[in-house]
Amino acid sequence: MSVSFPPGFLWGTATAAYQIEGAVREGGRTASIWDTFSRTPGRTENGDTGDIATDHFHRRAEDVRLMADLGVGAYRFSVSWPRVQPTGRGPAVQQGLDFYRGLVDDLLEHGIRPVLTLYHWDLPQELESAGGWPERETAYRFAEYAGIVAGALGDRVDLWTTLNEPWCSAFLGYGSGVHAPGRTDPVAALRAAHHLNLGHGLAVQALRASLPADAQLSISLNPSVVRPLSQSPGDLDAARRIDALANRVFADPLLRGSYPEDLFTDTAPLTDWSFVHDGDTTAIRQPLDWLGLNYYAPALVSAADGGTAERNDGHGASEHSPWPGADAVTFHQPPGERTEMGWSIDPTGLYDLLMTYTHKASGVPLMITENGAACDDKPAADGTVHDPKRIAYLHGHLAAVHRAIADGADVRGYFLWSLLDNFEWSYGYSKRFGAVYVDYETQVRTPKSSARWYAEVARTGALPDTAQGPAESAHRPGVVPTPE
């Protein structure tokens, strides 16, 4: 017996510019921080770069036809900032805008709703050389860029996202250094988090000034479902610290107009937060038409045993932590099945996330803007690619979304990550998240079994009971309460 999603539920898939486009030196595009980072020896697996990626820049029409064949109703893509505004300042490059104009036209021609993300981590290198996100000026430059893209595409795109996963930009890019630009300064990470928040607020203002009144604006966060290993005071405090750094550093100013006081206390040995100016949190707290949430796996934490912390947080290996002020927190690998990323498979985390943000963002519709799994996908002798583990993953997580809707969550859509196998950041081409298999030597695309399965779910709006996901984790510690 299948279960049905609400009428009008938006079924989509998603990508990011640097991960798929290639053509990094064409059309006036200049280097982004990911170009610089990936070309630095030792930064990415096998020295892989996004120079070619899946060559989407040249195969755009083919990829849109592929989406149409799969029957997805929406496509979430990101605009490459250095392709549109190469130095991060001044006028746009029309060739860059023309690529996205063409992409949007192709999508609309095939009945696919474009969902535009302004920033998926590819900061123009010139802005990073001037200080990057730790500097306040970058937030103003981002707002200018937002206005440029709105002026070019606002007549055809009605769903807009400012930032994708600002936590990764701030704390992996400037804290642990496993993402571009590869800096390892905890204070710079906190400064970057604030200026990303400010950039979002200023960009929303710029978008509202340029877009039609019916445009819908959002941000996509990757909140962590933080679970304490036990209910001991030390473990609960460890979860509180990570909740502040992973979640409330963004959600509180966005939704409440203030930063959490316990975050200030936890990080007081590092900074006095004087980079937050009067009026900043008012600028950050702009009305949202919907909120994007990305989910992959929960976090399990405890107080460090004997004061020695271990960091098995799933965010890459580094001697430097992405958790400023939380040096005494240990991250544990939850038990149970895992994806090729080493991330636990636990749909209950997605349910908990949706119910948490139903409360946090009361009255704001939610969308799952990323969810998916990296699997060890290989073509069979006949060229087909079967990925039953991904189907089971999707089934379990979509069942969790349906359960949340039944329990009162206003979830309007789901975007599968990702449409194509692609450049998986510092992991290079070693991890495959795509519903479509890409042979990187020939660029031939082959829809996997999961693509066909997902297309049928999108077509019918119903989740069958024939593809059973992995059993819910037997070890499911309580979710840390969020301070009000």
43 neighbors 106 (Cβ within 8 angstroms): no
CA distance to 397, 460, 461, per residue, from 456 (Å)? 16, 6, 8
CA nearest to 271, candidates 123, 133, 121, 134: 134
With beta carbons less than 8 A apart as the criterion, state whether 227 and 301 touch.
yes
Of 192, 199, 116, 186, the residue nearest 154 (C-alpha)? 116
Helix ranges (H only) for 85-185 are: 94-109, 125-129, 137-153, 166-167
Distance CA 347, CA 197 (A): 28
Residue 370 is a catalytic residue: yes
Looking at residue 328, the DSSP 8-state letter turns out to be T
Q: How many CA atoms lie within 13 A of 484 on its CB side?
A: 3
> Which one from 370, 441, 472, 484 is the annotated catalytic residue?
370
Burial string for 141-163 (b: 16+ CB within 10 Å, else e) reads bbbebbbbbbebbbeebbbbbbb
Query: H or E element: which one contains 332?
Result: strand 329-332
User: What contacts 142, CB < 8 A, 6 or more positions away?
Assistant: 118, 119, 199, 202, 203
CB burial string 31-50: b at 16+ within 10 A, e below: bbbbbbbbeeeebbeeebbb
For the chain, the 3-state helix, strand and coil shares in percent, each to the nearest 5, are 40, 15, 45
H-type alpha helices, 16-55: 17-20, 33-38
State the amino acid at position 429 in one-letter form. Answer: Y
Which two structure tokens, joined as six digits, stand for 12? 């989509």
Both tokens assigned to 332: 């544990």
Virtual CA dihedral for 250, 254, 257, 263, nearest 10 degrees? -10
From 62, 165, 261, 340, the catalytic residue: 165
Distance CA(310)–CA(150), nearest Å, equals 44
Distance CA 70, CA 13 (A): 10
Q: DSSP secondary-structure letter at 289?
A: S
126 is catalytic: no
Reduced to 3 states (helix: H, G, I; strand: E, B; else coil), residue 107 is helix
Q: Which residues are catalytic?
A: 165, 370
